[in-house]
Amino acid sequence: MNRRLGVLISGRGSNLQAIIEAIAAGPLEATIALVISNRPGVRGLDRARAAGIATTVIEHGSFPTREVYDLALIDALRRHDVGLVCLAGFMRLLSTAFVSAFPSAILNVHPSLLPAFPGVEAQQQALDHGVKVAGCTVHFVTAELDAGPIVMQAAVPVLADDTTATLSARILVEEHRLYPLAIARVLAGGWRMEGRRFLAG
């Protein structure tokens, strides 16, 4: 698989930073070809620029439909010869056209043990539900929200005095560890899908 990553963000970019650091430190053999944000002025863009990575802002508000917006994303990613798209806090659903443009080559990190608590505020959903174990998931992206095949997961305990902030912070530590590992696993190839099951090696 082409090891040129396109990272899509909407904000803080701490998972982007974890990918940047895993590449710099060696365990993740890849290049970030482009970072795209759908919002201008976000911290993740500063992190990318500080690492010397090409960035572009494609604001969804200036496009008439999701499909037209996604075509602009595809165009930018293709122009940078991206082989694997990594969503890192990119808070938009992708169209079937986008998903078909990068078959089995779009990953997302989500702050819950999917299929529990898809969508927004997953950590708050977990607290509200009263689960004792929470975590994060790296999965392939399909057109259905947070529903694609799972690549890797990591669990953390939910403590009695947790707030959304404390639980989110505990999960985030695992996201930063897991996402570069999962990207490396997918880039390494030699895996197969059996139904929904991602089987490596």
Catalytic residue positions, numbered: 110
By C-alpha distance, which of 135, 85, 92, 130 is closest to 110?
A: 135
Q: Is 172 in the site for ligand GAR (CB under 6 A)?
A: yes
| CA proximity to 56, closest of 75, 35, 73, 70 | 35
| Closest-approach residue to ligand GAR (CB) | 89
Determine if 11 is a binding residue for ligand GAR (CB under 6 A).
yes
Please tell me whether residue 125 binds ligand GAR under the rule CB under 6 A: no
Q: Where are the beta strands (DSSP E) in the chain?
A: 4-9, 31-37, 55-57, 84-87, 106-110, 133-140, 150-157, 191-194, 197-200
Residue 175's identity, in one-letter code, is: E
Residues counted in the chain: 201
Q: To the nearest whole angstrom, how small is the minimum distance from the Cβ of residue 166 to ligand GAR?
A: 14
Among the listed residues 30, 36, 89, 99, the single contact to ligand GAR using CB under 6 A: 89
Residues of this chain, 36-55, that bind ligand GAR according to CB under 6 A = 44
User: Does 137 participate in binding ligand GAR (rule CB under 6 A)?
Assistant: no
Shortest separation between residue 192's beta carbon and ligand GAR, angstroms: 26
Judged by CB under 6 A, which stretch of 8-16, 94-102, 155-163, 180-188 contacts ligand GAR?
8-16
Among 13, 135, 148, 180, binds ligand GAR (CB under 6 A): 13
Q: How many Cα atoms occupy the beta-carbon half-sphere of 99 within 13 Å?
A: 16
> Which residue from 3, 4, 14, 181 is in contact with ligand GAR, where contact means CB under 6 A?
14
Q: Confirm if 147 and 115 have CB atoms less than 8 A apart.
A: yes
CB–CB of 174/182 below 8 Å?
no
Please pick, from the candidates 110, 140, 151, 186, the single residue that binds ligand GAR as defined by CB under 6 A.
110
Q: 57 with 94: CB under 8 angstroms?
A: no
Q: 49 or 79, CB closer to ligand GAR?
A: 49
Contact residues for ligand GAR (CB under 6 A)? 9, 11-15, 44, 88-89, 109-111, 122, 146, 172, 175
